[in-house]
Amino acid sequence: MTIAMTSAPDSEIFSSAQRPRSRWGLTALVLGLLALVGGVACAGYVGVTLVPAELEAGGMFGDTAPGYQRGVIAAGLSLLLWAGIGIVALATGSLALVRRERRGRGMAVGGMIAALVAPVLWLAGFAVPVVMAASAL
């Protein structure tokens, strides 16, 4: 049995059903959106609950209930997790672009954009509710 070697590109050797598929672009998109949504949820939780909790307790974060303080600290520390996921999204997106994936290029760019925009939206998710609640006082 002999195996013929050819210099034809992969697209000519493999049919569309047999072509090896890489999922780096899809992975980047999922991770980028996960970092964006998770971080906004944590920052939004703190932003929405901070002013009412401080007003109830006396105006200082240290005066709030210990359970609330632990929740805010956990939400703040979880931003490190979301930032790490965003960094992995950037890495997998750039890997998809370097490997020149044709099918995953748009998803890779979308995941990278989501990972880059996420910290700005985290700040907005925290600051907007705090400013609105403080201005209503």
Question: Distance (Å, rounded) from C-alpha 128 to C-alpha 136?
Answer: 12
pTM, two decimals, is 0.76
Question: Looking at the predicted structure, is the pLDDT value of residue 8 above 60?
Answer: no
The model's pLDDT over 114-137, given as tens digits with 9 standing for 90+, comes to 999 999 999 999 999 888 888 877
Residue spans of the domains in the chain: they are 42-135
CA distances from 107 to 14, 33, 50, 71, 116 (A): 23, 11, 36, 34, 14
Residue located via tokens 């490997």: 99
